Chains A and B, each alone.
Chain A
Amino acid sequence: MNTEAVKNLLYRMADDALIIAHRNSEWTGLGPILEEDIAFSSIAQDKLGHALALYTILNELGEAEPDIIAFTRNEKDFCCSQLVEYPIGEYDFSLVRHFMFDTAEKLRYELLQQSTFEPIAKLAKKVSGEIKYHTFHADTWIFQLGSKGNEESKARMQSAINEVYPIAFSIFEPSSFEDSLIADATFVGEVELQKRWVERITSIVEGAGLKLPTIDVTSHYGGRNKFHTEHLQPLLDEMTVVFLLDPSAEW
């Protein structure tokens, strides 16, 4: 096993989970209806749990304590995809991001159940059952606001899909460890994941009477190599403000 490669995979996944958890939690108290407020808040709590579990595995591989990793790094130390960094925007943007991100997460964890790195295989089995609820929620809304919706909802969903789709490919930006992860059967790699994701996304979007635009898949690359949008550092500043008041405090 190439430990550096495994750590890189764990950091990419954990940072994605932590940052999307924070973004989802920004709907708490602001959701358009109570059920959606609770849905985004619950999904946020699940993601935070996944981030903690992944940082805990990293800690067992010699990295710092989970809270230290989560709350004391700056933008330049994160390897989350640019997709998760964007502000929540209107609800249509957040819904489509949730749909595209969680579909990728679901497929990734399904594939990781076969990982030769046992801690991630075990966690993947557990997490897959939870993410099923996330994609169920997302898929339901794509249909409700797509083929079952009205002209306004369809137009808004189409516009959000056009906006989010190119950014979503940032999830699959390959790292320099791809070959090693594939060789060790730790993970089948981002190319295979992206292929499955495109198939799944296409089937749901078209099934809901909507279309995927033609785009440049590399247009939002950078995050996996620690180049981020201008939105990440302000998020980190807000997320860490309480922790940094007294990093040694016992909670």
Chain B
Amino acid sequence: MVINPIIYTEDEIREFLHEVKDPEIPTISVVDLGVITDISISDDGEVSVVMTPTFVGCPAIDVMKKGVIDVLRQNGIVNSKVSVTFDTPWNSNRISEKGKAILKDFGLAPPPAYEVSFELDILNEVQCPFCDSYKTEMQTPFGPTLCRSIHYCHNCSQAFEQFKPL
């Protein structure tokens, strides 16, 4: 069996994983996006990372998984296991506060926080990421990627996208 030369803590590994970005939004990390659902280290030092996709058909999950494996290797963690499951399903509340700020800087309205469930009416109450106005209207719930909807701001006359609540 391959032994990892250094035993890292869960927090240290999470810090490494901040280097892995979403290929469709290259400023947000997999950690802030909330797709990392578990990090554990076994007694013999094997590192296990569990991931889950934003949308089931998200083609970016394979790229992100490869990114996680590569970053672990770069940090000397050769004895590792990276799996993708729906055990802890992704929802938009899993995006961190820092992650939401990053989305806004990228020009994407972050998804609103919700409790338990939400009605899709909230798609018409989205804050414009450019001028912060709520005078916006949803154009279509489907956008350039599975996780984005398209909106229009009547205040700054600008079309924008939202990272969809799920």
Contacts and interface: CB of A to CB of B under 8 A. Distances in A.
Query: A and B: partners?
Result: yes
Nearest to B55: A130
A133 to B, nearest CB: 5
Contacts of B90: 126
B120 interface: yes
B63 to A, nearest CB: 13
A88 B112 CA distance: 36
Interface stretch (B12-20, B94-102, B136-144): B136-144
Interface in B68-114: 86-87, 89-91
Contacts of B164: 133
Interface string B155-166: 000000000101
Contact of B55 (A39, A49, A125, A132): A49
B3 interface: no
Given A46-B57, A49-B57, A53-B56, A126 B142 contact: no
Interface string A23-67: 000000000000100110111011111101100000000000000
A123 interface: yes
Given A35-B150, A38-B140, A38-B142, A130 B120 contact: no
Given A38-B142, A133-B142, A50 B57 contact: yes
Interface in B118-150: 120, 139-144, 146, 150
B58 interface: yes
Contacts of A43: 142
Contacts of A125: 86, 89
A136 interface: yes
Q: How large is the interface on A (under 10, 10 to 19, 20 to 34, 35 or more residues)?
A: 20 to 34
A133 B120 contact: yes
Nearest to A122: B86
A135 to B, nearest CB: 9
8 contacts: A35-B139, A47-B57, A125-B89, A126-B86, A126-B90, A129-B89, A130-B56, A133-B120
Given A39-B142, A48-B57, A137-B142, 20 more contacts: A38-B142, A38-B143, A38-B144, A41-B142, A42-B142, A46-B56, A49-B53, A49-B58, A52-B57, A122-B86, A122-B89, A123-B86, A125-B86, A125-B89, A126-B56, A129-B89, A130-B56, A133-B142, A133-B164, A136-B141
Interface of B: 53, 55-59, 86-87, 89-91, 120, 139-144, 146, 150, 164, 166
